[in-house]
Amino acid sequence: MKRAVFPGSFDPLTNGHLDIIQRSAPLFDEMIVAVLNNPEKRPMFSVEERCDMIREVLPSIDTDDCKMTVESFSGLTAQFAKNRDADAIVRGIRAVSDYEYELRMALMNRRLEPEIETVFLMADEEFSYVSSTLMKQVFELGGRVEGLIPELVEERMRAKQNK
């Protein structure tokens, strides 16, 4: 059985994230969407809220026969992947700047856990400019994010904004 970890902050979950999940699912028997708990960042959503939203949205995308689970974690991605007996860490690449950053991370992860491979998937061109940070900024400034984040996530962002 081949198991992968797809780590990220997912604050908020974007359609770019879902694209990477859907396209990587045929490569693995199981995928763990791993939500990073990073207390240094100021997230819009709590870790629990992010995990819940991902669990609600995942059934709406086709992941073939790949079993999907959602977990949160703190600390090193490589250690989390090892603790979950993962064979791979999946990462999306949007641009050359992503590649430079992700390459450094992949090499460090390989040094920490040599038996775990990093698999890079190029972002679909439709989502090549979409990031969680950009989606939050556009949303908070009143811009439109339809088609770039799941409807459920946009609804939750509106609810947070109206509090």
Tens digit of each residue's pLDDT (9 = 90 or more) over 132-163: 999 999 999 999 999 999 999 999 999 988 87
Predicted confidence (pLDDT) per residue in 39-50, tens digit: 787 899 999 999
* pLDDT above 90 (res 38): no
Model confidence pTM above 0.85: yes
**94 catalytic per annotation:** yes
Of the pLDDT bands very low, low, confident and very high (cuts 50, 70, 90), residue 126 is: very high
Ordered domains of the chain (ranges, CATH) = 3-161 (3.40.50.620)
Q: What is the pLDDT of residue 41?
A: 78
Contacts of 149 (CB under 8 A, 6+ apart): 12, 13, 14, 15, 135, 157
Entry field: residues in the chain: 163
Q: How far, in Å, CA of 25 to CA of 43, rounded?
A: 27
**Among candidate residues 5, 77, 67, the one with its CA nearest the CA of residue 30:** 67
Q: Which of 3, 17, 136, 156 is catalytic?
A: 17
Q: Which of 3, 24, 50, 132 is catalytic?
A: 132
Q: Which of 3, 50, 91, 94 is catalytic?
A: 94
Adjacent-strand bridge partners of 35 = 8, 72
* pLDDT above 90 (res 7): yes
**17 catalytic per annotation:** yes
Please name the residue ranges forming H helices in 2-150: 15-24, 47-57, 77-83, 96-112, 132-140
Q: How far, in Å, CA of 148 to CA of 126, rounded?
A: 9
